[in-house]
Amino acid sequence: MNHRSRRALALASLAAGVLAAGAAQAAPDFQMPFACNNVWVANTWDGHSPANSVDMNRPAGGGATAGATVVASAAGTVQTSMYSTTTGYGHYVVIDHGGGWKTLHAHLQSRAVAAGDKVKQGQKIGLVGNSSAKYDLAPHLHYEQIYNGAVQKAKWNGVALRYFEKKNYTSKNSCGASSGGAPGTVGTSGSALNVRSGPGTSYSVVDTLANGSAVTIRCQKSGETITGTYGTSNLWNNVGAAGTNKYIPDAYTQTGSDSRVAPDC
């Protein structure tokens, strides 16, 4: 091999190495696996198995950990949704995000997706629990961001977690910052849904929306508890333009999540 050939091969090898390193950084825009504005404690420690995985629970006074909704950190395809009898994962879900990237969610109370399902960022995939075939656990979510089979140090909203300490993080998942709001669909028995000037049925009706109408949820507010198509909730969704008050019950709005999907009003 002559000098030019050796130099060309060396440059090609260097370029391949640079491309491989670049690919490892081309992760999806991962968000926390919880709905917008949820606050969770991320716990990491030296010796956690596997390394770089994260355990999460509610902070003191922040609500119940068990039964909380877990959502997809990024869009993808469900690769695994099962109960493991051979590992300590219990009920767990793995989502393939493409490009070698996956996320794993373990110890779930229940699973809301099946292998092969396509999921959107912020879509419900299960509930936090303490399931395990090996361990007696307190409720928490075990979470991993995986690249080509190796668990990476997690990033949410483009920011790396601070490892080997307990720290509170606030989810920005599906907050609608880039689109100006979170998407939703009105779901009723077929009749039109009243749009009110505030978060309750005592407020005046300012508009109506037909069943199946697409809406943009600008912000959300707690108010009167309503039972509707999608369960019971005290959340009301402001679907009006900035500076206006047009509220519909979250219980009649399909959002893909049982928790908040937009900022507080």
What digits encode the pLDDT tens for the residues 76-92? Answer: 999 999 999 999 999 99
Q: Are residues 161 and 58 in the same domain?
A: yes
Domain presence at residue 10: no
Residue 184 is predicted with a pLDDT of 87
The CATH number of whichever domain residue 98 belongs to comes to 2.70.70.10
Query: For 214-246, what is each residue's pLDDT tens digit?
Result: 888 888 899 999 999 999 999 999 998 877 899
Q: Please tell me whether residues 149 and 191 are part of one structural domain.
A: no
- Which of 170, 200, 229 is where one domain is finished? 170
Q: Which of 19-23, 175-179, 248-252 has the lowest mean pLDDT?
A: 19-23
142-163 exposure pattern, b = at least 16 Cβ within 10 A, e = fewer: bbbbbbeeebbebbbeeeebeb
How far is residue 229's CA from residue 214's CA, in Å, rounded to a whole number? 16
Q: Average pLDDT, whole number, for the chain?
A: 87
Do 194 and 146 share a structural domain? Answer: no
What percentage of residues in the chain have a pLDDT greater than 70?
88
Domain's final residue, options 170, 201, 217: 170
Q: Is residue 260 part of a domain?
A: no
Q: Any bridge partners for residue 103, and if so which?
A: 95, 145
Q: CA 85 from chain center: how many Å?
A: 26
Q: Are residues 49 and 119 in the same domain?
A: yes
123 and 193 together in one domain: no
Q: Do 188 and 72 fall within a single domain?
A: no
Token digits of residue 218: 């600008």
117 with 234, same domain: the answer is: no
Q: Does 8 fall in a domain? A: no
Domain residues for the domain of 108 are: 39-170
Same domain, 53 and 136: yes
Render pLDDT for 24-79 as a digit per residue (tens, 0 to 9): 547 899 999 998 778 999 999 999 999 999 999 999 888 889 999 899 999 999 99
